[in-house]
Amino acid sequence: MSSNSYDGEYMGRIIHKFGFVAVKGSSSRNAVRALLGLRRALQQGWSVAFSLDGPRGPRHKVKPGPVALSRSSSVPMSTFHIAVERAWVLNTWDRLIIPKPFSRVLLRFGKLVPAPANATDEDLERYQQGLQDSLDRVREFAEANIQKVGTPEFPYGA
């Protein structure tokens, strides 16, 4: 999901090159339309992704949108975190990072978290917490191990 801004359009072009589709909208504007667009993209075979903490934060706090999309599409969710050894950190609410040249980067994915179509609203809170737990684990692992990337003490598949 990307905003209707110039930045959103620019990011949409970049993520398209990685096999994702940009759907216009945000959790604060056109949320239902955006979720329907993401569901349509999934039905067309695209991979979709969006920031789990939404456009306003709080930072690293999972919002209900991904769980609602998983329930309506029957597609499981996953989390990921990218740790960067050296980066410029922008003074934005989400502390956007831009990796410095030749910096080590560690990408860690979490397990798949499904939200079945017959999940109740109470179940959705549990699935949202499961997604939050997964995000916390991958973020912790990536940040704790970024210095080991490219060394003998960091085996592949760790």
Confidence of residue 132 (pLDDT cuts 50, 70, 90): very high
Show the tokens assigned to 3: 């905003």
Confidence of residue 139 (pLDDT cuts 50, 70, 90): very high
Q: Would you say residue 158 has pLDDT above 60?
A: no
Confidence of residue 55 (pLDDT cuts 50, 70, 90): low
Q: What is the pLDDT of residues 68-127, one digit of tens each?
A: 889 988 889 899 999 999 999 988 777 788 999 999 999 999 988 888 888 888 888 999
Place of tokens 């990408």: 107
pLDDT computed for residue 23 by the predictor: 77
Cβ-in-10-Å burial (0-12, 13-18, 19+) of 77 comes to buried
Which H or E element spans position 144? helix 121-145
Q: What is the pLDDT of residues 36-48, one digit of tens each?
A: 888 888 888 887 7
Domain ranges in the chain? 75-158
Percent of the chain with pLDDT over 90: 27
Q: What is the pLDDT of residues 8-24, one digit of tens each?
A: 777 778 878 887 777 77
Q: Would you say residue 26 has pLDDT above 80?
A: no
Distance (Å, rounded) from C-alpha 44 to C-alpha 141? 33
Greatest distance between any 2 Cα atoms in the chain:
48
